[in-house]
């Protein structure tokens, strides 16, 4: 019987009916203790009947129902405070000090090589429609392992917005258990007995697959069956032409939840990597020849999702070392992405009206900037500005993208030489600012740091990109208008009186 209800005693406090599952790794039990006491796992000494619990193995730590488990260790705030320091200004603070001074969101504690899961969750959290669907999810609705994973992610999303470090640790422990139940290989252990590192892209795929099953779309206005398909799902028009026989081209449709950017010697930019994937050589059975033949596969996007996920295919299996080795090549990616050229002619025609509106607004902003510069001398007043936000989707297809314009909102990076080692981190946009979510450490970073994640060395390399729709805000009144009098038509300032 691997599950026990035990009593946890910490100082003068007693916590009855705490569940301990010896099928899980000990660090998960320590995460539960952290949720109860606020004592970080690395500061805990957990003892039962004179035996101390290790991080990587239960060993001789024998449990039974109603067993008394003693916890020793202090919360960080219980440590005697350092002398009061002189006031520091924001300009003089480093990243850690900024994180403490600013209102930073909660991070997720690393439960032992679980950075791949933490980074995935932080990236997905940036999609408001997905987050809202998870917060509204009925956690008692069942649904097998996919339902358990969705329920655990729902709780994690809830506590990330103010549940405190302890609550986040408990939610992360539940999420990890649910992930292991759905994907048993993620529970594999390394040579030292601790949890083995896993591939963040595989984790992303498994979580999205579970959500695809368990998050139904809101009623009305869409053919999608789930929130995932509605906001992440795209469609391709595919043409297959046989290079070895004269046979009519085969035309079909394929769906996708993410696009792949294969990295070759010639690929230096994300756009070229995506473009090369849209035209490739494949081998498949030819009915005409009665054998495998080479086909040219040409794909064009016929439905753009609101949120576009792109994976850099950075890992390949190296037989000699039996590892998924990493391609470190520098591949630049933009903050603003335009995928118009990857779309079918029919979709391009549908995208044109909204693209024209973006161009009109951009031209107007440039013109206004010139006018303001020319009128920067003289009396002026500001006119109240209100803006109308235009839908980013087609009227008959909520959750689509109606312009082909995207803005980067999350990057999941890997640092290391193989997918089974190293470290994963999420870099997420919050408004106009960027955050680095390194497990439970969340710190602000300048935008230029994000653009340095393109690879080329042992620093963090972008592995997964998440682009959201670029939203068009149209001013309903003249924005920040400058009303001036006595301005020369040529833009010259008034002549000073003698």
**Residue 31's domain is classified under what CATH number?**
3.10.20.90
**Which residues are CB-neighbours of 150 under 8 A, at least 6 positions away?**
134, 137, 143, 210, 211, 213, 214, 215
Q: What is the DSSP letter of 216?
A: B
Is residue 405 predicted with pLDDT exceeding 80? yes
Of 74, 100, 128, which residue is a domain's last?
A: 74
How long a stretch of residues is the chain?
498
**Which residues are CB-neighbours of 202 under 8 A, at least 6 positions away?**
183
Whether residue 319 sits in one domain with residue 221? no
Q: Give the CATH number for residue 336.
A: 3.90.70.10
pLDDT tens digits for 444-464? Answer: 999 999 999 999 878 899 999
* Main-chain dihedrals φ then ψ at residue 378, nearest 5 degrees: 120, 175
Residue 345 lies in a domain: yes
Whether residue 203 sits in one domain with residue 112? yes
Contact 292, 284 (CB under 8 A): yes
pLDDT confidence of residue 481: 44
Lowest mean pLDDT among 8-22, 87-101, 188-202, 260-274: 87-101
Whether residue 218 sits in one domain with residue 276? no
Question: What is the Cα–Cα distance from 58 to 67, expressed in whole angstroms?
Answer: 15
Residue 324 lies in a domain: yes
Whether residue 140 sits in one domain with residue 266? no
pLDDT confidence of residue 443: 95
State mean pLDDT over 491-496. 39
Of 48, 115, 168, 343, the active-site residue reads 115
- Give the percent of the chain with pLDDT over 90: 54
Cβ atoms within 10 Å of 299's Cβ, excluding its own: 20
Q: What angle is formed at CA 467 by the lines to CA 463 and CA 468, rounded to 5 degrees?
A: 155
- Residue 469's pLDDT band (cuts 50, 70, 90): very high
Whether residue 62 sits in one domain with residue 115? no
Question: What is the Cα–Cα distance from 308 to 318, expressed in whole angstroms?
Answer: 30
Is residue 436 predicted with pLDDT exceeding 80? yes
- Residue 115's pLDDT band (cuts 50, 70, 90): very high
**Known catalytic residue at 180:** no
Whether residue 370 sits in one domain with residue 456? yes
Helix (H, G, I), strand (E, B) or coil at 353: helix
pLDDT confidence of residue 349: 98
Q: Can you list the positions of beta strands (E) in 201-266? A: 234-242, 250-256, 259-262
Helix (H, G, I), strand (E, B) or coil at 70: strand
Residue 240 lies in a domain: no
| Spacing of C-alpha 478 from chain mean position | 36
**Which residues are CB-neighbours of 90 under 8 A, at least 6 positions away?**
98, 101
Residue 374 lies in a domain: yes
Question: What is the Cα–Cα distance from 441 to 427, expressed in whole angstroms?
Answer: 12
Question: What is the Cα–Cα distance from 149 to 183, expressed in whole angstroms?
Answer: 10
Is residue 20 predicted with pLDDT exceeding 50? yes
Of 74, 94, 124, which residue is a domain's last?
A: 74
pLDDT tens digits for 215-245? Answer: 998 655 456 789 999 999 999 999 999 989 9
Residue 282 lies in a domain: yes
25 has which bridge partners? none
Return left, alpha or beta for 113; rule: phi > 0 is left, psi -120 to 50 is alpha, else beta. left
Whether residue 279 sits in one domain with residue 203? no
Q: Which of 206, 229, 227 is nearest to 218 (CA)?
A: 227
Whether residue 204 sits in one domain with residue 133? yes
Cβ atoms within 10 Å of 286's Cβ, excluding its own: 17
Question: What is the Cα–Cα distance from 176 to 198, expressed in whole angstroms?
Answer: 12
Whether residue 129 sits in one domain with residue 8? no
Relative to beta strand 68-72, strand 3-10 is parallel
Whether residue 377 sits in one domain with residue 468? yes
State mean pLDDT over 487-494. 40
Structure tokens at 396: 């008959």
Residue 496 lies in a domain: no
Residue 295 lies in a domain: no
Of 30, 54, 74, which residue is a domain's last?
A: 74
Is residue 426 predicted with pLDDT exceeding 60? yes
325 has which bridge partners? 316, 418
| Spacing of C-alpha 205 from chain mean position | 12
Lowest mean pLDDT among 204-208, 297-301, 415-419: 415-419
State mean pLDDT over 29-43. 83
Is residue 75 predicted with pLDDT exceeding 50? yes
Is residue 364 predicted with pLDDT exceeding 90? no
| CB half-sphere exposure, 471, CA atoms < 13 A | 12
- Give the percent of the chain with pLDDT over 70: 83
Residue 497 lies in a domain: no
CA distances (Å), 425 to each of 73, 277, 413, 440, 481, in order?
Answer: 29, 26, 5, 11, 43
Q: Which of 446, 484, 424 is nearest to 116 (CA)?
A: 424
> CA dihedral in degrees (70, 75, 78, 83; nearest 10)?
150
Q: What angle is formed at CA 170 by the lines to CA 167 and CA 176, rounded to 5 degrees?
A: 140
Identify the domain containing residue 191 by its residue range. Answer: 108-233
Return left, alpha or beta for 273; rule: phi > 0 is left, psi -120 to 50 is alpha, else beta. alpha
Whether residue 223 sits in one domain with residue 113? yes
Relative to beta strand 259-262, strand 308-313 is parallel
Q: What angle is formed at CA 404 by the lines to CA 403 and CA 407, rounded to 5 degrees?
A: 105
- Residue 490's pLDDT band (cuts 50, 70, 90): very low
State mean pLDDT over 32-54. 85
Whether residue 129 sits in one domain with residue 177? yes
Look over the chain and give the mean of its residue pLDDT values, rounded to a whole number.
Answer: 85
Q: Which of 19, 81, 124 is nearest to 466 (CA)?
A: 124
- Domain count within the chain: 3
**Known catalytic residue at 343:** no
pLDDT confidence of residue 478: 46
């Amino acid at each position: 019987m691997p599950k026990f209800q035990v009593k946890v005693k910490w100082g003068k406090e007693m916590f009855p009916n705490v569940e301990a599952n010896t099928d899980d790794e000990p660090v998960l039990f320590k995460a539960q203790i952290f949720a109860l006491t606020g004592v970080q796992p690395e500061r805990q000494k957990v003892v039962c009947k004179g035996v101390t619990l290790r991080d990587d193995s239960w060993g001789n730590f024998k449990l039974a129902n109603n067993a008394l488990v003693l916890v020793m260790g202090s919360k960080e705030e219980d440590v005697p405070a350092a002398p009061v320091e002189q006031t520091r200004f924001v300009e003089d603070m480093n990243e850690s000090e900024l994180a403490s001074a600013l209102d930073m969101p909660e991070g997720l504690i690393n439960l032992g090589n679980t950075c791949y899961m933490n980074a995935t969750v932080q990236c997905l959290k940036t999609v408001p429609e997905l987050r809202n669907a998870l917060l509204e999810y009925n956690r008692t609705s069942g649904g097998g392992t996919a339902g358990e994973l969705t329920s655990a992610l729902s709780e994690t999303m809830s506590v990330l917005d103010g549940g405190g470090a302890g609550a986040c640790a408990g939610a992360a422990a539940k999420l990890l258990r649910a992930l292991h139940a759905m994907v048993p290989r993620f529970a594999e252990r390394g040579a030292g007995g601790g949890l083995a590192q896993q591939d963040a892209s595989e984790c992303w795929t498994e979580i999205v697959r579970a959500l695809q099953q368990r998050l139904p779309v809101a009623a009305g206005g869409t053919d999608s069956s789930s929130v995932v398909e509605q906001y992440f799902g795209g469609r391709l028009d595919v043409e297959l032409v046989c290079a070895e026989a004269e046979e009519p081209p085969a035309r079909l449709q394929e769906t996708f939840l993410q696009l792949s950017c294969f990295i070759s010697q010639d690929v230096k930019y994300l756009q070229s990597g995506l473009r090369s994937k849209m035209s490739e050589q494949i081998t498949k059975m030819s009915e005409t020849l009665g054998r495998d033949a080479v086909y040219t596969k040409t794909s064009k996007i016929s439905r753009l999702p609101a949120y576009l996920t792109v994976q850099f295919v950075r890992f390949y299996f190296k037989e000699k070392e039996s590892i998924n080795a990493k391609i470190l090549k520098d591949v630049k990616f933009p903050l603003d992405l335009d995928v118009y050229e990857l779309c079918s002619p029919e979709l391009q025609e549908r995208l044109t009206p909204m693209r024209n509106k973006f161009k009109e607004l951009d031209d107007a902003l440039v013109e206004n900037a010139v006018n303001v510069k020319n009128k920067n001398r003289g009396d002026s007043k500001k006119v109240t500005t209100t803006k109308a936000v235009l839908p980013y989707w087609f009227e008959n297809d909520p959750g689509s993208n109606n312009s082909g314009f995207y803005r980067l909102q999350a990057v999941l990076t890997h640092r290391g030489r193989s997918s089974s080692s190293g470290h994963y981190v999420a870099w997420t946009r919050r408004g106009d600012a960027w955050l680095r979510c390194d497990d439970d450490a969340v710190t602000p970073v300048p935008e230029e740091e994000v653009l340095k994640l393109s690879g080329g060395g042992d620093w963090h390399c972008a592995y997964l990109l998440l682009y959201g729709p670029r939203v068009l805000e149209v001013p309903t009144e003249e924005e920040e208008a400058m009303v001036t009098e006595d301005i020369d038509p040529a833009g010259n300032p008034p002549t000073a009186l003698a």
